[in-house]
Amino acid sequence: DAKTTQPPSMDCAEGRAANLPCNHSTISGNEYVYWYRQIHSQGPQYIIHGLKNNETNEMASLIITEDRKSSTLILPHATLRDTAVYYCIVNNFGNEKLTFGTGTRLTIIP
């Protein structure tokens, strides 16, 4: 079973920041938080991951709470191409098996 809880859907206006929440209250100390997204008819795409510090890359920022029980993925300036299902996953380093939940369907509105 997935160890994460995400809202099933969200809308965001184009050009605004999209903030996608994820609860992972049972996360253990050696588990990372990963985010992937899946655009229709394509395979999932890796976005970002983190352990306990906030992370930023060219795609997004990841904010992890101090107790690590929740996190937020931030797309700073959403575009129509960011419309996708976003998956939050917790996983041990070296565990090759990813357990996907149902994700959040993000729709960017023009």
Partner 1 sequence: KAGVTQTPRYLIKTRGQQVTLSCSPISGHRSVSWYQQTPGQGLQFLFEYFSETQRNKGNFPGRFSGRQFSNSRSEMNVSTLELGDSALYLCASSLAPGQGVYGYTFGSGTRLTVV
**Interface positions with partner 1 (CB under 8 A):** 32, 34, 41-46, 49, 87, 91, 93-94, 96-103
Choice between 25 and 95, CB closer to partner 1: 95
As measured in angstroms, the least distance from the Cβ of 6 to partner 1 is: 12
Q: Please, what is the minimum distance in Å from the beta carbon of residue 81 to partner 1? A: 16
Helix (H, G, I), strand (E, B) or coil at 40: coil
Query: What is 58-98 written as a DSSP string?
Result: SS-EEEE-TTSSEEEEEETT--GGG-EEEEEEEEETT----
Q: How far apart are CA 28 and CA 69, in angstroms?
A: 9
| In the complex, minimum distance from the CB of residue 98 to partner 1, in angstroms, rounded to a whole number | 7
